[in-house]
A = this chain, B = another copy of it.
Amino acid sequence: MARTKREQAPEEKRNEIVAAARALLVQEGYDATSISRLAAAAGVAPNTIYWYFKDKDEVLIAVLDAELTASMSDYLQLQTTSRTERLLWVANQLAQVSRLVSTVHTRLEQSPAIHAWHERFHELSEGVLRAEFQQAGVAADRIEARVKISVFAIEGLLSHPLPEAEKRAICAALVGE
């Protein structure tokens, strides 16, 4: 096909791959999302994925970045409710992409790129929580442990789903309400 006959901007094709990858990674997981399946879902040949991405982990990172951007902008429009409800909202948002979270933790050790993304994500999350605890008047020398415990508890809620009431009780215990 001649170059002038393009029907699609190149980054649109890339976005299609990312969208297909998001759906597959969330619903089926990393291992079940083979490059062949992803290519079929995106309507390209398997090796075409490698024109747009260095390797499979870079596809994952593109999905994670898109997800993070969308979720952060949602969070910022939420400053109305109580701290408990805000934390519960975050837990429930992440629960919708829990397979993504679990995949990140598994591939941490094998992929330096995923490792770096994970570090960045935790710095961001802990910054937000630190600000919440400061605002709530928690003593300065107790904030760090409280921040870590909250992060760990949220992650725990992802891999071990609980009824809404129990989740809320845990969030309340975490923020001290």
Number of identical monomers bound together in the oligomeric complex: 2
A148/B142 contact (C-beta < 8 A), A99-B109, A106-B106 known: no
Q: How far is the CB of A160 from chain B (nearest CB, A)?
A: 7
Closest to A30 in B: B106
Closest to A153 in B: B152
Which residues of A, 1-60, contact B by the 8 Å Cβ criterion?
A: 29, 31-32
Chain B residues near A131: list those with CB within 8 A.
Answer: none
Does residue A170 face the partner (Cβ distance < 8 Å to B)? yes
What total of chain A residues lie within 8 Å of the partner, measured CB to CB? 33
What are 7 A-B interface contacts by the 8 Å CB criterion?
A: A99-B109, A105-B106, A145-B173, A148-B153, A148-B170, A149-B173, A156-B156
Closest to A170 in B: B145
Known: A146-B173, A148-B153, A148-B156. 18 other contacts (CB 8 A): A105-B159, A106-B106, A122-B160, A142-B173, A144-B166, A145-B166, A148-B160, A148-B162, A148-B170, A149-B149, A149-B174, A151-B156, A152-B152, A152-B156, A153-B153, A153-B156, A155-B159, A156-B156
Cα-based distance from A109 to B99 in the complex (angstroms): 9
| Main DSSP-derived SS at the A contact region | helix
Does residue A102 face the partner (Cβ distance < 8 Å to B)? yes
Cα-based distance from A146 to B152 in the complex (angstroms): 13
Does residue A110 face the partner (Cβ distance < 8 Å to B)? yes
Which residues of A, 87-107, contact B by the 8 Å Cβ criterion?
A: 99, 102-103, 105-106
Does residue A68 face the partner (Cβ distance < 8 Å to B)? no
Does residue A78 face the partner (Cβ distance < 8 Å to B)? no
Does residue A136 face the partner (Cβ distance < 8 Å to B)? no
